[in-house]
Amino acid sequence: MHPLRRILLLSVALAGVVAGAACLVTAQANARDLPYTPVVTPNGSTLEWKMVDGVKEFHLIVEPCKHEIAPGMVINAWCYNGQTPGPTIEAVEGDRVRILVTNKLPGPTAVHWHGVLLPNGMDGIGGLTQPHIQPGETFAYEFTLHQHGTQMYHSHSDEMVQMGLGTMGFFIIHPRKAETKIDRDFAIFLSEWFVRPDTATPDVSVMTDFNIFTFNGRAYPGTAPLVVKTGDRVRIRFGNVGQESHPIHVHGHAWKVVATDGGDIPASAQWPETTVAVFPGQTRDVEFVADAPGDWPLHCHRRHHPMNAMGHDIPNMIGVNQAGVEEQVQQVVPGYMAMGEKGMGDMQAMAGHMPGPANTLPMMAGDGPFGPIGMGGMFTLLKVRDQLASYDEDPGWYQHPAGTVAARVAGEASSATTSTVYVCPMHPEVRQIQPGSCPKCGMTLRPESETDSEQH
Ligand SMILES: [Cu+2]
């Protein structure tokens, strides 16, 4: 046996013996004593730890898992402790940490502590700074934290495959003494995937044309909202070890970029903005006071990234008059629906009506209090409320004060008639003055103002 491996295995064995006798202190049990506001990883979790001889000990198990991107889509991922991203590691500057890594993957692995300043032999580069962790083996990484900030961990062995399947997570180091009190501290990992419809294993060889975009491994409408109280000081930490850059945009607020993976930005050098670009290998911490109640979108601003799979590889039909074509095509493609002439907004209605390919997500989804939201992918809601029963419950839709919602201008609706006309989103020729369903496709008819307002 290689001497280094013998030492590592010995330290694991010793750690196990000591752990059995040690008082088990979990992060949860200790929450009230923590010298920091615990980070919330929406749709994710925080890794528990126990004190073993003055060392904070964590345990990551890397293994294949089934991961739900959103209801209706489950992928074959490679996970830490059953999740992608893996559970968030939280510690405090000055802590000595030991992270046990057990490999239950079919091949060798290693874990890199991305951005953490540590001895070279703990850097986790399989073949370069340590032997690869073979299937069935457990390695111990141990080092003292000499910095604070938002760092990450990820596989550094067969990276293209292992990271492409989800082996990544946050490693957050809190300062000994925080300069500003944070009320709500969130961490969101940005990832993109290519999962061919009707399949479940991400294609890791795809380099650029991804079709699923996720916040903490979830695509809208599977993303949890960020719930905060009016006046809360909010931090959001973004991490990215993928292939794409993601400009993340917030509505209703401006934030300041207060830290990067390299450390804090001095107050005099922080700049305000509403969109922060997060490139592969980077973390960005933003802070703001949530001073505007409402339901505010928080999303990637690349147009295809707050969308799901079906926006890809479709013919461009915008402005193409398809009148009469539909019936002809139906003779060879039963059930064919002409669409796209006025844009892709009909996609959401169609997805709710027609069965699509298995195990993928409709391009647009989500119904709001005023109609379809038409989003997917890297999209969630920042829900700011004056009153909150609990941070852990979705407070429902925002109740707008009277007179504060954009509305149709009275008298401008139509010069011909004042009654509402109901039309089929798929078949504009189907028009009637009562609500009902389309005789051609069965879809619920919608008031014309919702479907066709640009023509008035
Ligand atoms: Cu993006």
User: How many angstroms does the Cα of residue 246 sit away from the middle of ligand 1?
Assistant: 4
Confidence at residue 350, expressed as pLDDT on a 0 to 100 scale: 62
User: How many angstroms does the Cα of residue 305 sit away from the middle of ligand 1?
Assistant: 5
Confidence at residue 338, expressed as pLDDT on a 0 to 100 scale: 64
User: How many angstroms does the Cα of residue 223 sit away from the middle of ligand 1?
Assistant: 15
User: How many angstroms does the Cα of residue 245 sit away from the middle of ligand 1?
Assistant: 6
User: How many angstroms does the Cα of residue 134 sit away from the middle of ligand 1?
Assistant: 34
Name the residue type at position 409. Answer: V
C-alpha distances out from residue 342 to 56, 241, 255, 454, Å: 58, 37, 36, 10
User: How many angstroms does the Cα of residue 67 sit away from the middle of ligand 1?
Assistant: 20
User: How many angstroms does the Cα of residue 239 sit away from the middle of ligand 1?
Assistant: 12
Sequential DSSP letters for 43-73: TS-B---EEETTEEEEEEEEEEEEEEEETTE
Confidence at residue 444, expressed as pLDDT on a 0 to 100 scale: 83
User: How many angstroms does the Cα of residue 166 sit away from the middle of ligand 1?
Assistant: 17
The answer regarding whether domain 24-300 maps to CATH 2.60.40.420 reads: yes
User: How many angstroms does the Cα of residue 248 sit away from the middle of ligand 1?
Assistant: 7
> What distance in Å separates the CA atoms of residue 37 and residue 40, rounded to the nearest whole number?
9
- pLDDT tens sequence for the chain (456 residues): 444 444 444 444 444 433 333 333 344 444 557 889 999 999 999 999 999 999 999 999 999 999 999 999 999 999 999 999 999 999 999 999 999 999 999 999 999 999 999 999 999 999 999 999 999 999 999 999 999 999 999 999 999 999 999 999 999 999 998 778 999 999 999 999 999 999 999 999 999 999 999 999 999 999 999 999 999 999 999 999 999 999 999 999 999 999 999 999 999 999 999 999 999 999 999 999 999 999 999 999 999 999 988 655 666 777 777 777 777 777 877 666 666 666 766 666 666 666 678 888 888 888 899 999 999 999 999 999 999 999 999 999 999 999 999 999 987 655 444 567 788 888 777 777 777 787 778 788 888 765 444 443
User: How many angstroms does the Cα of residue 185 sit away from the middle of ligand 1?
Assistant: 21
Query: Which residues are registered as beta bridge partners of 246?
Result: 278
Q: Is 125 exposed, middle or buried (0-12, 13-18, 19+ CB in 10 A)?
A: middle
For the record, the structure tokens of 233 come out as 């000081």
> What distance in Å separates the CA atoms of residue 280 and residue 244, rounded to the nearest whole number?
6
User: How many angstroms does the Cα of residue 113 sit away from the middle of ligand 1?
Assistant: 24
User: How many angstroms does the Cα of residue 243 sit away from the middle of ligand 1?
Assistant: 10
User: How many angstroms does the Cα of residue 219 sit away from the middle of ligand 1?
Assistant: 12
What are the domain boundaries of the chain? 24-300, 413-456
Q: Which of 360, 256, 349 shows the shortest CA–CA distance to 309? A: 360
Query: Which residues are registered as beta bridge partners of 361?
Result: none
Residues whose CB is under 5 A from ligand 1 (ion)?
246, 300, 302, 305
C-alpha distances out from residue 185 to 129, 170, 180, 234, 236, Å: 34, 13, 12, 6, 6
Please state, as a whole number, how many other Cβ atoms lie within 10 Å of the Cβ of residue 173: 23
pTM over 0.85: no
Confidence at residue 22, expressed as pLDDT on a 0 to 100 scale: 37
Confidence at residue 351, expressed as pLDDT on a 0 to 100 scale: 64
Confidence at residue 4, expressed as pLDDT on a 0 to 100 scale: 43
Query: Which residues, 6+ apart, have CB-to-CB distance to 369 below 8 Å?
Result: 397
User: How many angstroms does the Cα of residue 301 sit away from the middle of ligand 1?
Assistant: 6
For the record, the structure tokens of 31 come out as 């929450």
**What are the φ/ψ torsions at residue 303 (nearest 5 degrees)?**
-60, -30
Confidence at residue 300, expressed as pLDDT on a 0 to 100 scale: 97
> What distance in Å separates the CA atoms of residue 57 and residue 124, rounded to the nearest whole number?
17
User: How many angstroms does the Cα of residue 184 sit away from the middle of ligand 1?
Assistant: 24
